[in-house]
Amino acid sequence: MTILKNKIFIMIFATVFISSCASHVEDRASLDFEPIIPENMNIPNNNSNSGGIYNESSGGLFATDRRAGQVGDILTIALSEDFTASKSQSATSAKSDSFKVDLPNLLDPAGDQALLDSGAETSFSGTGSAAQTNSLRGEISVTVMRVFSNGNMEIMGQKKLHLNNGNEYVRLSGMIRPQDISANNVVQSSRIANAKIAYLGVGDIADTGQKGWLSRALASISPL
């Protein structure tokens, strides 16, 4: 009885440990998406007013470009991803062979007997199909991580939603061109090069859509 209790305790502990590991892994992965905050620069304070309308220290009302262009700037990505993929395959093969050798009968030439008579026939038929549809829409703010000499910018950001029964993560990284940034500082996700977009969840709700660790272990060694 004691051995049975110990086994039950070990299984419960293993389940809790594995569940907590999933959350810990995602929390560690979140550190890679922390924004870069540039160090404060000593900008000279030139607030002297000469009495004119134009002031060099003022960015102006209409001429100022509010779009992101430097490391640490923030811009918005409009997610509009729709993917549909389908694939089907079929194969059929058949083969038939026959082999026969006759041995003449010296006592009765008319009564030849077959020394060897064999035949073989094989056939195969198989079909397969796969289909997948994905859709992701929304908005996420990202940070400029690096600016290249040609003006292109490397961006990265994430959004973490803490729900009652778990956490939801939306992560995005890639490269954008300055000309793809709209006047209101928004870039469409279809204009991101080398885009890496991830939407995943950790918690009770996400676990219900996955096999348990014991089921996965048994499935990996099952010959069926």
Q: What is the pLDDT of residue 136?
A: 87
pLDDT averaged over 10-residue windows placed end to end, the chain, 224 residues: 57 52 56 60 52 53 73 93 84 76 58 60 80 88 94 92 81 94 94 91 62 65 62
Q: What is the pLDDT of residue 43?
A: 46
Q: What is the pLDDT of residue 126?
A: 80
Alpha helices in 54-163 (DSSP H): none
pTM: 0.55
Residue among 116, 125, 124 nearest 98 (CA): 116
What is the spatial distance between Cα 47 and Cα 50, in angstroms, rounded to a whole number?
Answer: 9
Q: What is the pLDDT of residue 73?
A: 93
Q: What is the pLDDT of residue 161?
A: 84
Residue 47 CA, chain-centre distance (Å), reads 50
Q: Which distant-in-sequence residues (6+ apart) come within 8 Å of 196 by Cβ?
A: 171, 172, 173, 174
Kind of pairing between the strands at 113-147 and 153-163: antiparallel
Q: What is the pLDDT of residue 178?
A: 94
Lay out the sheet containing 193-203: strands in order across: 186-188, 74-103, 113-147, 153-163, 166-176, 193-203
Which residue's structure tokens are 């100022």? 64
What is the spatial distance between Cα 58 and Cα 2, in angstroms, rounded to a whole number?
Answer: 78
Report CA Rg, the chain.
Answer: 34
